[in-house]
Amino acid sequence: MGIAGALLSLAAVIFLMVIAYAGVAGAGLYWLFGVILPYAAVATFFGGLIYRILDWAKSPVPFRITTTCGQEKSLDWIKANKIENPSSGGWALVRMALEILTFRSLFRNTRLDYRLRGEVPVIRYSSDKWLWLAALGFHYAFLVVILWHVRFFMEPTPKLVALIETLDGFLQVGVPGLLISGVVLVAAAGYLFHRRVYYPQLRYISLTSDFFPLFLIMAIGLTGILMRYLFRVDIVSIKELAMGLTTFHPVIPAASISSLFYVHLFLVCVLFAYFPFSKLMHLGGVFLSPTRNLANNNRAVRHINPWNYPVKVHTYEEYEEENREQMIEAGIPVEKQPEPEAPAQETEPPAQPATEKPAD
């Protein structure tokens, strides 16, 4: 798909923004974009999330198929790598925690470069720490943005949320203060997009479903930044709307809210509804991955498939016993040759009774 997929995704996001702006500024559909769609998006998000996780949880995993890259536990005098090759559930939990919180496997990711040195092709493997850093910054920035948005839905604002917002804006640049998480989120998403377009190998395998979430998240971040720093919106009215949605007493504030806010809200709704049916569901799938969450103790414990049940089988020996003669006639080799028949015994004809010769 490549560039065509990127252009199609960009056009789709722009089209969504135009729909929201026209629906609010032109048609005045405040109730649709401010109440109905947010409720529908949240219901779709949680319903789809629960469905996908339960569907994955029902998948049988009878054997240990862990991905390992370290020494397995064996003899006492051989040092085992407890994190890379966990032999118990506790160490598997440690590996999962490092994977989820620090993207440990991505940190060791390498990149293949194919270059020409003169006329000689050279293949080189190099570290790709920029990808790890961008992915880590993207996910943590997204988490921080979600957490400090909680202040719109709760009154009074929790102290933890206020602390997160204070730490996020510790640079105190401008008025209102610059929040680092928003800038990092857009920059990291931009780098991930640039990487997919810049490298031919990634561009070749990239689909529309890879570009659309990136453009959608970048649009959400940019509209949020515009509302905070350039086009000021009525925060009080926005919180009134958010509190009404939270308490299930939705109201459209009397004071008009900027149409840019409804564009921002509509993009968030699209992201929520799209999330369970996209590749973004790795958020839940990583916890259920048997290649990560299982201990590798295949040599220490015999694993028997718990789904096995008694099955009536027909062995080859029984099959050959039933069809041996036909197989031999057809020239098919058999494992057991038929026993030769016993030769028939010759029988003498019964002796004729002697007849007396008549006397002369």
- Which has the closest alpha carbon to 1: 255, 197, 283, 256? 197
Q: What percent of the chain has pLDDT over 70?
A: 92
Q: How confident is the model at residue 357 (pLDDT cuts 50, 70, 90)?
A: low
pLDDT on residue 202 = 87
pLDDT in tens, 103-133: 988 888 887 777 777 778 788 777 788 899 9
Q: Encoding tokens for residue 53?
A: 């996780």
How many H-runs (helices) and E-runs (strands) does the chain carry?
15, 2
The CA distance from 101 to 277, in Å, is: 24
- Please state, in angstroms and as integers, the Cα–Cα distance from residue 139 to each residue in 134, 177, 273, following that order: 9, 22, 19
- How high is the pLDDT of residue 356? 57
pLDDT value, residue 245: 93
For residues 320-341, give the mean pLDDT. Answer: 84
Of all helices (H) and strands (E), which one includes residue 295? none
For position 175, what pLDDT does the model report? 65
- Burial of 99 per CB tally in 10 Å (0-12, 13-18, 19+): middle
Q: What percent of the chain has pLDDT over 90?
A: 43
Q: What is the mean pLDDT of residues 288-294?
A: 89
The most confident of the ranges 40-54, 73-87, 164-178 is 40-54
Closest of 100, 101, 125 to residue 112, by C-alpha: 125
pLDDT at position 329 is 87
Per-residue model confidence (pLDDT) at position 265 = 95
Q: What is the pLDDT of residue 2?
A: 75
Which pair of tokens denotes residue 19? 């729909």
Q: How far is CA 295 from CA 85, 255, 256, 291, 353, in A?
A: 8, 58, 57, 9, 95
Res 191: pLDDT: 94
User: Predicted confidence band at 352 (pLDDT cuts at 50, 70, 90)?
Assistant: low
How far apart CA 327 and CA 237 sit, in angstroms, is: 87
The chain-wide mean pLDDT, for the chain, equals 87
User: Would the pLDDT of 347 be above 70?
Assistant: no
